[in-house]
Structure 1
Amino acid sequence: MLKVEEIKTLIDALHQSSVNELELEQENVKLSLKKQVATQVSEQTVQAVAPATTTNQAPTQVQEAPKTEPAAEPVQENKNLITVTSPMVGTFYAAPSPDADPYVQEGDTVDEDTVVCIVEAMKLMNPIVSEAKGKIVEIVAENGELVEYGQPLMVVERQ
């Protein structure tokens, strides 16, 4: 039976070689190792070693996680621009109901407590308020669009 240290040695050897796959059978043990290639937006290529598993033994995992860069904030040239972002994952709605007028449109003036849209999450309608007094200069999200936490919904020019 293979020992954990022997399996780790095989994983390291596979990682450092140009071989992409290794299979080994010994008595009641079958070991299969495969490399996976992950690509990133930053044009880096990172190789990840697939988890190693053996029959009749506890799984052993050695894996390099791809490095990720934090998402860049929207570039704001004008310091008076405030981006209203989604506080949760959900569905963006510009109006309280399908047949109603939108809460705001580009060019509308809003206060700090003005509801500018709603985000539906788990059948709950969550009102989103403007974070500043000003004018709506851009509505980024589309009505009915699935939005992520922190995703820009609209841009307000502070007054």
Structure 2
Amino acid sequence: MLKGKSPIDPALIRELAQVLTDTDLTEIEIAHDNLKIRVARQVTVQAVVQAPAAAPAPVAAAAAPVAAAVPAAAVDDPRKHPGVVTSPMVGTAYRRPSPDARPLIELGMQVKEGDRLCLIEAMKTFNDIVAPRAGTITRILFEDGRPVEYGEPLLIIE
């Protein structure tokens, strides 16, 4: 690559890749003037499902009303659930306003429209994510302190 022909600095790319490795992030993006650089790595996640120790009959009976009330596609894909709350931005999601505070939300918690659900830090700014509707938090789909993408399902309110 000829010097002066490309505004992209290979050393910067290597440095950003090292930041990904050091911080356990999956992607990082920087923008300056008309130049935008995004470095991402592919992460393979392996799900392990453990069989319940108790008899399966009570579990099946408890799951039946949920399956009847929510379309099967919504159970498989939270993005299709009618009560999904998605991330409006790329950033780091937090359930607590500070490390020593109690979580803003818990499973089974009742929320009202406009209640603060979580925070997303983007560009060193904390953004409140509020409840778009009243209901009960039935699923929390993000891990505290981990990056989230635009449109990523955060939680489900039923």
Normalised by the size of structure 2, how large is the TM-score?
0.50
Q: Which has the higher strand share?
A: 1
